[in-house]
Chains A and B, each alone.
Chain A
Amino acid sequence: MLGVKVRAGPALPAVLAGVPRLRWGWAAAGCAALLVSCGIGVLVGPVHIGAGTVVQALFGGAVDPGQANILWSLRFPRVVLGVLVGGTLAIAGAAYQGVFRNPLADPYLLGAAAGANLGATLAIAFAPGTSVLGVNIVPLAAFVGAGAAVAGAYVLGRSVSGLRSATGLILAGVAIAAFFNSIQSYVQQTQTSSIRQVYSWILGRLVTAGWDDVLLILPYVLLSATVIFLHRRLLDALTLGEDEITSLGIPVRRIRLIVVVAATLGTAAVVAVGGTIAFVGIIVPHTIRLLAGRSYRVVIPLSVLFGAAFLVLADTAARTIVAPAELPIGVITAFLGAPFFIAVMRSTRAAAL
């Protein structure tokens, strides 16, 4: 399904004339932000390891085996995981906002978070420690739950509104999410012994199986990001309004389906290993819109870079602020993200909104 090529009508280039492209300056700024945040991420942690040692370890130099162990087994994979999770949540959020033309859309709009939470809660409560084909059952159940919720919302939304409007789909997602949340709360209530693990999971945490998790989600994340990236111009076209571009011969419903599937796949994968980290999918694309421009040719690539940078920094804060204890990363993303976003809105006078 993801392989379907969207045949954009010949009118597309004309429609998009005048839509700004990504400027090199912003692309460079995004790359720099990502590099700097990764640098901070590998240098800062609850265990003090000198910058020289970190650089030596990165380039294969001989360092103390204890420190090498901490860097290679724990800190480096965590930073890479932060890049994948943050980039995916931000690009998925931007994609959802474009497809639904709704500024409040986020990667969890169609029930992905509720589905993932329910899947993970069921696995934690009823099948602890189980693994399927060598993979821990919790991320697997979360992945399946997220996919099932969004698929359910899609089928439900289609049956009520025939997908003529996106509103039917969004409302179906809201209903599915409420339904899944109620089951999740019930299970959590009856299985009080697993409440701490469930809580830990819902607020998000990038402490998992190290490189195994990185490899586990990498294919989905790459596929998701690639598909969304290839549709960035069509997302710009969608901003013109469904009727207008349908009349130009652009298959709105199919584009919506492909982008939603791609965004959901990526979201489900990263939620499976990181938990339901809030706010990244909303704040990062909107900040980029306010500062760099509204075109999806700008928003999509910059969301990946700045989303990744933001989450790596948030995770660094999560593991250092109360070191040697940790904070859930979802606490950090909203606590730091919300004031920052308000500051950006104020400084730009919200003109771009």
Chain B
Amino acid sequence: MHKHQPGASAKLAIRLGTVTFVFVFLVASCGGTSPSGTSTPTTRFPVSITEPGGAIVTITHQPMRVVSLSPSATEMLFAIGAGSQVIAVDDQSNYPSSAPMTKLSGFTPNIEAIAAYTPDLVVAAEDTAGLVHGMQALNVPILVEPAAKNLQDTYAQIKQLGTATGHSSQADSLVGSMRSQVGSLVASVSKPNRQLRVYHELDNTYYSVTSATFIGQVYKVLGLTNIADAATAATPDYPQLSPEFIVSSNPDLIVLADTKCCQQDINTVAARPGWRAIAAVKSGQVVGVDDDVASRWGPRIIEFMRAVASHVQQLEKQAA
């Protein structure tokens, strides 16, 4: 009953645009009481979910022992009120602090260790080390929610997790509120007179992101020009940029997503050879963001957008 194509779901680049929720068993006599639990499901079980990878996952009853191996999914689960059903999260899922962090790894998953929690739903960001196959063998439904490519993917994943955990209406209202916040943030950065250039830094060896990535899409939504897009031909998503190029591109805004990993801030950036000449350094528009928020595709992306938008507003004021 659990059909899954191993490998297919591992493809991170698969778009979620065509996600559909198929309710296979529309039981006519479902007027009975809802399953008991910590929350009242707003989904009727059993439910079948078409994954981003195209596989269909069937969940027979509302999951009460969810294991999340994806930090982004963990944040989504807690944001839609499914937190109390989550019994274990992986070693990278450090938000929210109430999430039951364990030593489980989503990077090198250990099937036996996951099975020891007797989960009734496993959520992961990728199918590595035979994860999907292993869970199928144990008859545990597993949802793979790969790295989102844009905000639409995030919305779709939140809704999908809502369906899977019995929190459809909360998921719908979270997505609605995110959509409206994104709308007002985009409106708040009125059309600037000139194209503002942004450089997003993943670490202090100058790895960056192009517009083909989730975070790059966020810059695009905010109307910024991403200097890393010049490197798309050779490395489509996460190029390692040449410092000569960064300095000569003269970005108006530098976003540091390496404040935790590499302790970078405006002072360390200004101390790099030649970087003092960059407009963003001269005007102080060097923004430090939480590495985790900037590398996940969960609900906190709104916080990230708000931080970037406020600096764009400052830049526009300076220009005016």
Interface stretch, picked from B34-42, B49-57, B59-67, B261-269, is: B261-269
CB contacts under 8 Å to B, within A150-172, are: none
Asked if B32 CB lies within 8 Å of chain A CBs, one says no
Establish whether residues A211 and B291, one from each chain, have CB atoms under 8 Å apart when the complex forms. Answer: no
Asked if A69 CB lies within 8 Å of chain B CBs, one says yes
Asked if B314 CB lies within 8 Å of chain A CBs, one says no
Interface stretch, picked from A2-10, A202-210, A261-269, A337-345, is: A202-210
Interface stretch, picked from B79-87, B136-144, B184-192, B241-249, is: B241-249
Which residues of A lie under 8 Å from residue B234 when comparing CB positions? 321-322, 325
Residue in chain A with minimal CB distance to B227? A324
CA distance A129 to B263 in the complex (A): 5
Establish whether residues A129 and B268, one from each chain, have CB atoms under 8 Å apart when the complex forms. Answer: yes
Asked if A231 CB lies within 8 Å of chain B CBs, one says no
Residue in chain B with minimal CB distance to A324? B245
Residue in chain B with minimal CB distance to A213? B273
Instruction: Specify which of A75, A201, A205 is in contact with B244 (CB 8 Å cutoff).
Output: A75
Residue-wise, chain B 238-279 has the 8 Å CB interface mask toward A (1 for contact) of 011111110111100000000001111000100011100100
Residue in chain A with minimal CB distance to B277? A69
Residue in chain A with minimal CB distance to B232? A325
Asked if A15 CB lies within 8 Å of chain B CBs, one says no
CA distance A72 to B274 in the complex (A): 8
Residue in chain A with minimal CB distance to B248? A47
Instruction: Specify which of A194, A212, A324 is in contact with B231 (CB 8 Å cutoff).
Output: A324
Establish whether residues B263 and A325, one from each chain, have CB atoms under 8 Å apart when the complex forms. Answer: no
Establish whether residues A325 and B274, one from each chain, have CB atoms under 8 Å apart when the complex forms. Answer: no
Establish whether residues B244 and A325, one from each chain, have CB atoms under 8 Å apart when the complex forms. Answer: no
Establish whether residues A197 and B203, one from each chain, have CB atoms under 8 Å apart when the complex forms. Answer: yes
Interface centre among B241, B248, B249, B277, by most A CB within 10 Å?
B248
Tell whether A207 pairs with B203 under 8 Å between CB atoms, given A69-B247, A73-B274, A189-B108. Answer: no
Tell whether A74 pairs with B205 under 8 Å between CB atoms, given A128-B263, A325-B231, A325-B240. Answer: no
Which residues of A lie under 8 Å from residue B235 when comparing CB positions? 322, 325
Asked if A66 CB lies within 8 Å of chain B CBs, one says yes
CA distance A74 to B241 in the complex (A): 13
Asked if A196 CB lies within 8 Å of chain B CBs, one says yes
Asked if B26 CB lies within 8 Å of chain A CBs, one says no
CA distance A324 to B242 in the complex (A): 6
Establish whether residues A70 and B107, one from each chain, have CB atoms under 8 Å apart when the complex forms. Answer: no
Interface centre among A74, A189, A209, A210, by most B CB within 10 Å?
A74
A156 to chain B, nearest CB (A): 32
CA distance A132 to B230 in the complex (A): 37
Residue in chain A with minimal CB distance to B207? A196
Establish whether residues B241 and A326, one from each chain, have CB atoms under 8 Å apart when the complex forms. Answer: yes
Count of residues in A whose CB is under 8 Å from the partner chain: 36
Asked if A60 CB lies within 8 Å of chain B CBs, one says no
Asked if A50 CB lies within 8 Å of chain B CBs, one says no
CA distance A319 to B241 in the complex (A): 9
A138 to chain B, nearest CB (A): 10
Asked if A330 CB lies within 8 Å of chain B CBs, one says no
Tell whether A323 pairs with B245 under 8 Å between CB atoms, given A128-B262, A129-B264, A211-B273. Answer: yes
Establish whether residues A324 and B205, one from each chain, have CB atoms under 8 Å apart when the complex forms. Answer: no
Instruction: Specify which of A65, A73, A321 is in contact with B273 (CB 8 Å cutoff).
Output: A73
Tell whether A210 pairs with B240 under 8 Å between CB atoms, given A69-B247, A323-B245. Answer: no
Asked if A173 CB lies within 8 Å of chain B CBs, one says no
Establish whether residues A197 and B245, one from each chain, have CB atoms under 8 Å apart when the complex forms. Answer: no
Residue-wise, chain A 235-264 has the 8 Å CB interface mask toward B (1 for contact) of 000000000000000000000000000000
Asked if B202 CB lies within 8 Å of chain A CBs, one says yes
Which residues of A lie under 8 Å from residue B204 when comparing CB positions? 197
B173 to chain A, nearest CB (A): 32
Instruction: Specify which of B107, B244, B249, B262 is in contact with A319 (CB 8 Å cutoff).
Output: B244
Establish whether residues B92 and A192, one from each chain, have CB atoms under 8 Å apart when the complex forms. Answer: yes
Establish whether residues A70 and B231, one from each chain, have CB atoms under 8 Å apart when the complex forms. Answer: no
Asked if B206 CB lies within 8 Å of chain A CBs, one says yes
Instruction: Specify which of B202, B244, B261 is in contact with A47 (CB 8 Å cutoff).
Output: B244
Establish whether residues A46 and B273, one from each chain, have CB atoms under 8 Å apart when the complex forms. Answer: no
Which residues of B lie under 8 Å from residue A193 when comparing CB positions? 92, 261, 291
Establish whether residues A205 and B205, one from each chain, have CB atoms under 8 Å apart when the complex forms. Answer: yes
Which residues of B lie under 8 Å from residue A189 when comparing CB positions? 107-108
B269 to chain A, nearest CB (A): 12
Which residues of B lie under 8 Å from residue A322 when comparing CB positions? 231, 233-235, 239
11 A-B interface contacts by CB (under 8 A): A45-B242, A45-B244, A73-B247, A129-B263, A192-B92, A196-B207, A200-B207, A321-B234, A322-B239, A326-B206, A326-B241
Give me the 3 closest cross-chain CB pairs, A-B, nearest first.
Answer: A129-B263, A73-B274, A210-B273
**B interface residues with partner A (beta carbon < 8 Å):** 92, 107-108, 202-207, 230-231, 233-235, 239-245, 247-250, 261-264, 268, 272-274, 277, 291
**Other CB < 8 Å A-B pairs besides A46-B242, A129-B262, A194-B261, 7 of them?**
A66-B248, A128-B261, A189-B108, A211-B273, A324-B249, A325-B231, A326-B240
